[in-house]
Amino acid sequence: MNWMKTAILLAAMTALFVFIGGYVGGQTGMFVAFLVAAGMNAFAYWNSDKMVLRMYGAREIGEAQDPDLFGMVRELARRAQIPMPKVYIMDNEQPNAFATGRDPAHGAVAVTTGIMQRLSREELAGVIAHELAHIKNRDTLIMTVTATIAGAISMLANFAMFFRSGDDRNGGGMNVIGSLALMILAPLAASLVQMAISRSREYEADRVGAEIAGQPLWLASALERIQSGADRVVNNDAERNPATAHLFIINPLAGQGMDSLFSTHPSTANRVAKLQEMAQGMYGAAQEAPRRGPWG
């Protein structure tokens, strides 16, 4: 269902892009703007993993530096049937984590020191499994595509103000008003769709991650703990770079607790409820789900 929703939202963004392209300059203007936006996002696609890891001061570790964490990632990657990703640790008190990499062969998982201090081994396994699900699902590629289309829409909307406002064929003043409205509303609509896709991918990563770990309640408990910690501990690196907020398992920015149109993440309560439903379906209402596993 989440894949269907993602496809529909991508189709909506594409339709909006085609409409604006036709409004501004026909096929030629649309094609030029798309090429520029695609070039910018292609650079980000090939280099964003290195950039974001450097941005958060993440340091790569091997088995010698942290055999427990490294071994956990290796075992969960084996279960997910993906190549072993690189493992990074960020010196940050806020409990959080993210995954990056343009495809499963170039995946990376980064966790904060705060999450390692606050979560149990089972909860941490649930978080790692969630991040591996993002890698397995190629969510980085999906978000790059949406960023490309959103960037092209913003560019075309700005072009509309300059190329259509001087065209008085349809009434002069109305053209200026229409172009100004398009310049404001089109990027906003694209951003809303982009955020909706991001939220959809989070739900899907929760589901797949719970399957990888074998226990939905581990991730459910972890999400509640991370949300509590994120509400109390400011992530200064994230506040300086809010465009990276969607990467994290829980929104790292202050003051983001509602499942609103402008949130890159679903509400934690909604995610936990879905995971609890999943656990009940796996183990039944009368049977208590196991709380411990290979890392207990």
The strands making up 97-100's β-sheet, listed across from edge to edge, are: 59-61, 86-90, 108-112, 97-100
Say which of 131, 204, 211, 224 is annotated catalytic: 131
131 classed as catalytic: yes
Q: How far is CA 60 from the centre of its chain?
A: 21
- Specify the pTM: 0.82
Q: Is CATH 3.30.2010.10 the classification given to domain 27-144+200-283?
A: yes
Token pair listed for 214? 């074998």
* Per-residue pLDDT at 154: 77
Count of C-beta atoms within a 10 Å radius of residue 36: 12
Collect the ranges in the chain with pLDDT lower than 70. Answer: 1-3, 5-6, 144, 147, 160-176, 255-262, 284-296
Domain ranges of the chain: 27-144+200-283
Which residues, in sequence order, are CB contacts of 246 under 8 Å at separation 6+?
A: 143, 195, 198, 264, 265
Measured in residues, the chain has a length of: 296
* Per-residue pLDDT at 74: 98
Short-list 73, 85, 72, CA closest to 135: 85
